[in-house]
Amino acid sequence: MKFVALFVIFLLLLNSFSTAQTLIQNFCKKAAAKHRDIKYDFCVSSLQQDPQSKSATNLTDLLIASIKTDALKTTNVVGIVNQIIKEKKYGKDIESSLYACLSCFYEATDELKLTVASIKSHDYSDANWHMSNALYSSEDCDLDFKQRGLQSPITNETNVLYHKILISFALTEML
């Protein structure tokens, strides 16, 4: 009898994982078709890396998991920027842009939190607006460097962050 119960639980867990995989793949297919900056393979691997995404049964679950990953990535990039500033191996112009980036990343983090609050209150229009702000905040860092004619030492990090937040933005649009 215990074996049957364990087998049923195993099948339910397997089905849940399969549902999440299908959800992720279907979403990424639609998102890549709609947004030229979303690459299907990056989207799938990015969402599959998060353990919470693996148990998602709907777009809302997937979005909240994705936003949490975005917030962690943003915090990680803030740590990298702080370390670069601390090392003082770049000139004042780059340091100034890095401080501007910190402001952008803090704003993005705030917007991600507001997005989650809006989703939980089922205010999807507001969630979309906050997610859009988070996306543009992540983009503004590179823009500051470009406007000053400087090469950013965190281009790779901001590029990955932008694409991760873009995935969450696309999810928000589909709610």
Q: 70-123, pLDDT tens digit by residue?
A: 999 999 999 999 999 999 999 999 999 999 999 999 999 999 999 999 999 999
Mean pLDDT of all residues in 46-64: 92
pLDDT at residue 65, as a whole number: 96
Residue 13 has a pLDDT of 44
3-state SS, residue 84: helix
Dist CA 12 CA 155 (whole Å): 43
Residue 58 DSSP code: S
The CATH number of the domain where 39 resides is what?
Answer: 1.20.140.40
Residue 54 confidence class, pLDDT cut points 50, 70, 90: confident
pLDDT, residue 129, reads 98
Q: Which of 42, 75, 58, 39 is nearest to 171 (CA)?
A: 58
Alpha carbons 163 and 159: distance in angstroms, whole number: 6
Kindly give, in sequence order, each residue whose CB lies less than 8 Å from that of residue 124, ignoring residues fewer than 6 positions away: 118, 172, 175
Q: What pLDDT is recorded for position 7?
A: 42
Residues of the chain above pLDDT 90, percent? 82
Is residue 54 packed enough to be buried (19+ CB in 10 Å), middle (13-18) or exposed (0-12)? Answer: middle
Residue numbers of the domain that contains 21: 2-173
What pLDDT digit, counting tens, does each position of 6-51 carry? Answer: 444 443 444 444 578 899 999 999 999 999 999 999 999 999 998 8
One-letter amino acid at 83 equals Q
Query: Do 138 and 166 meet the contact criterion of CB atoms below 8 Å apart?
Result: no
Q: What is the pLDDT of residue 18?
A: 58
Number of structural domains in the chain: 1
Non-local (6+) Cβ contacts of 88 within 8 A are 95
Model pLDDT for residues 62-79, shown as the tens digit of each residue: 999 999 999 999 999 999
Helices (H), 35-154: 40-48, 59-87, 92-120, 124-147
At 122, the amino acid letter reads H
- The whole-number pLDDT of residue 14 equals 42
Predicted pLDDT at 2: 63
Q: What is the dihedral of CA 77, 23, 118, 106, to 10 degrees?
A: 0
Mean per-residue pLDDT over the chain, rounded: 90
